[in-house]
Amino acid sequence: MELLNLNIPTWSDLGHWIPEAVLVGAFLAGLLGDLIVRGRRPWVPFAISVIGLVTAGSYAVAAMLHADPTAHSIMGRLVVVDGLATFFRLIFIFTGLVTVLFAWTSEEIMGRWRENKGEFYVLTTLMTLAMCVMAEARDLLMLFLSMEGVGLVSYVMAGYMRSTLRSTEASLKYVVFGAVSSAIMLYGLSLLYGMTGSLTFTGIRAGLMAHQPDPFGLLIAAVLILVGMSYKIAAVPFHYWAPDVYEGAPTPVSALFSVGPKAAGFALMIRFFYTVLASGNDPATGSTLIADFNWPLLVAVMSAATMIYANLVALRQTNVKRLLAYSSISHVGYILMGFVLLTGQGLQAVLFYLLVYTFMNLGAFFFVVAVNNHLKSEELEDYVGLGFRAPWAAAMMVVFLSSLAGVPPFAGFVGKLYIFTAVMDRQWFWLVIVAGVNSVIGLYYYYKVVKAMWLTRPAEGADTSPLKLHWLQYTVLGVLTVPTLVLGVYFGQFKALADQAIRLLSTGM
Amino acid sequence: MSMTSPLGTVATGLQAHYATVFVFILVGFVFAGIALGVAKLLRPSNPSPAKQSTYECGEVPIGSSWVRFNVRFYLVALFFIVFDVEVIFLYPWAVVFKQLFPVPGMGAIVFWEMIIFLAILALGLAYVWVKGDLDWVKKLAQRTAMTPAPAAAAEEEVPAS
């Protein structure tokens, strides 16, 4: 029997996978720890998760700084660790870590009557792991497995407050929509496998290039797969689950959802579309489509629809959490603009935007968590006067909202600038105009929150006592504010990281 | 690639395969349609309450057919599947292990891979056990500590299936 092509990993292969291995260990240890203390001391799994995430994070940072130019295929070529994976790994581990830290202070997770508090931290660790694998998948099986991994954990986390009707509803909606979109995507994957007889991304591309596929069949397969991925990143018209789920889920979980799985979805889309349906990764000429199917135009239309729809609906929201949900959908529209350009410049802008988006969006959601602890509400009218009740946190919220709106000295502006420039370079003028108009619309609803917090006079007899925030909340918000400010003026180094990630994106093998 | 049939070459490539499937679907619909349509034309229509009731092996039907199964059945089924698949997975592993054992360095890797896999599953078993999902009859009070149940309803009964 031929065993040579079994591709069993060796210890040196696994050396590139230390962050993931650490996360697996932290997940198992956390689960075991929670069982040993019988769920009575949630600090045990909390501490294990924090230690695991910090350790994995430091290994990931080391890998990033090392900038290994070769891509390493491991686990029988199911996953690849290259520049893209190294970059996204940092975003995921950072997101997981700050979510764990902030959840510790959240009443929605740690409130007196909540059950299974410790399991929240274990699940966040598992989710971080699944997202990392999503950014590394280079095989249809692993693609599906990692997406389902993220999905299944998400369903549980959305329904975390299981005695709350809103939360269980969010979970159920998420499961139903998730199952449908997975099924649709799976159908597309099976068509693609049928056409090329290969499961690996590069094998599929080789198959498509060797004998020109049936254009109609390829169109169907690619569109079905696109549906599954757009669902994950919540792009119009597959966004309908997002506002309900974000509103119903505990706010720390919404914060994680609005950043983590979204970034993971983008990582997967970049790898899939730029490996399977486009070839070449030349910084000068960009990539070329390999088959007669213009997916960039299709995605560009989706991007415009996402921006317009999400921004218009966000105008009418009175619930801050729902408003932020629509805002995060509209940001998907901006990011998709960079994705369709088939240039390295576009992808670099996408990565940089995702980095900036991680800081500002997490910050905005965490502010909602901190306020919810005291007010038990996310309605805009209850935010009136918050600027004077919690001045420091509200000031940081202004930074996050301004950055989300794309106002100049903040990081969001630089992110938008890079994306818009990249789009202009490819002469997609209509797309830039749509995006520009939408940025202005965004300004209105972001500043509606700022206005409520600082300018609107509270009603007679309203509670104006100062809010006392946990020190951990100030720390995490501060940690998120600093990059939101710094990346607005000093972005060269971080842009270089994104550039490096795309340069080292492995499309071969 | 061309497809030859008694009628000659019909179509080429992918279309031919899809055409076959399409013809199958079409024939299926037409067949069912004809069978039902002809029966409809020929049979006398003489409904009565007894005829229109659900057929339940000659018995008078009791209750709705939309029975809710206890969620515990799914839990046990899921649990069974996990360990069933584990055992199936062990067989090919054993074959590969036997061949790779003499290769220096490989034996250890392949052995520990499987041990880790089994340990993860064992942790799952421990989880289910500690959480009390292996007990068929659960104490209601144990599950919902936040709402103290009345003493009479403390024991939750498994519905007859």
- Look-up: residue for tokens 């597959």? A238
Q: Is the pLDDT of residue B10 over 50?
A: no
What is the mean pLDDT of the segment spanning A184-204? 90
What value, to the nearest 5°, has the Cα angle with vertex A458 and ends A454 and A463?
110
pLDDT category at B151 given cuts 50, 70, 90 is very low
Predicted pLDDT at A508: 61
The C-alpha atoms of residue A386 and residue A178 are separated, in whole angstroms, by: 37
Q: Is the pLDDT of residue A221 over 80?
A: yes
The C-alpha atoms of residue A47 and residue A101 are separated, in whole angstroms, by: 10
Q: Does B21 reach chain A within 8 Å, measured CB to CB?
A: no
Q: Does A4 reach chain B within 8 Å, measured CB to CB?
A: no
Predicted pLDDT at B153: 38
**Other C-beta atoms within 10 Å of B142: how many?**
12
pLDDT (tens digit per residue) in A404-429: 999 888 999 999 999 999 999 888 89
Of B96, B110, B127, the CB nearest to A35: B127
Half-sphere exposure of A76 (CA within 13 A, CB side): 10
Q: Does A163 reach chain B within 8 Å, measured CB to CB?
A: yes
DSSP class of residue B155 equals: B
- How near does any CA of chain B get to the CA of A279, in Å? 24
Centroid of chain to Cα A444 = 24
Q: Do B96 and A3 touch (CB under 8 A)?
A: yes
Residue B160 phi/psi, 5-degree rounding, is -60, 135
B95: closest chain A residue by CA: A1
Predicted pLDDT at A294: 82
- Which helix (H) or strand (E) is A286 found in, with range? strand A286-289
Centroid of chain to Cα B123 = 24
Of B14, B109, B146, the CB nearest to A8: B109
What is the mean pLDDT of the segment spanning B89-113? 85
Question: Do A34 and A48 touch, CB atoms closer than 8 A?
Answer: no
Q: Is the pLDDT of residue A170 over 70?
A: yes
Domain B71-153 bears CATH identifier 1.20.58:
yes
Q: Considering the domain boundaries, does residue A354 fall inside one? A: yes
**Interface predicted TM-score of the whole assembly (ipTM), two decimals:** 0.76
Residues of A in contact with B127 (CB under 8 A): 31, 35
Q: Considering the domain boundaries, does residue A368 fall inside one? A: yes
- Which helix (H) or strand (E) is B10 found in, with range? strand B8-12
Task: Tell me the H-state helices in A340-428.
Answer: 344-375, 386-389, 391-405, 411-425
User: Which sign does the torsion angle of CA A69, A71, A74, A80 carry?
Assistant: positive
Predicted pLDDT at A1: 41
What value, to the nearest 5°, has the Cα angle with vertex B134 and ends B129 and B137?
135
Helix, strand and coil percent figures for chain A, each rounded to 5: 75, 5, 20
The C-alpha atoms of residue A225 and residue A241 are separated, in whole angstroms, by: 18
Half-sphere exposure of B14 (CA within 13 A, CB side): 13
Residues of B in contact with A129 (CB under 8 A): none
pLDDT category at A11 given cuts 50, 70, 90 is low
- How near does any CA of chain A get to the CA of B96, in Å? 8
Predicted pLDDT at B138: 66
Q: Does A9 reach chain B within 8 Å, measured CB to CB?
A: yes
Q: Do A38 and B105 touch (CB under 8 A)?
A: no
Confidence (pTM): 0.85
Domain-wise residue ranges, chain B: 2-45, 71-153
Q: Considering the domain boundaries, does residue A58 fall inside one? A: yes
- How near does any CA of chain B get to the CA of A213, in Å? 9
**Local structure of A40: helix, strand or coil:** coil
Residues of B in contact with A195 (CB under 8 A): 14
First to last CA, chain A: 25
Residues spanned by the domain of A78: 11-503
Centroid of chain to Cα B5 = 39
What is the mean pLDDT of the segment spanning B39-58? 84
Residue A380 phi/psi, 5-degree rounding, is -60, -35
The C-alpha atoms of residue A234 and residue A269 are separated, in whole angstroms, by: 13
Q: Do A163 and B146 touch (CB under 8 A)?
A: yes
Helix, strand and coil percent figures for chain B, each rounded to 5: 60, 10, 30
Q: Into how many domains does chain A fold? A: 1
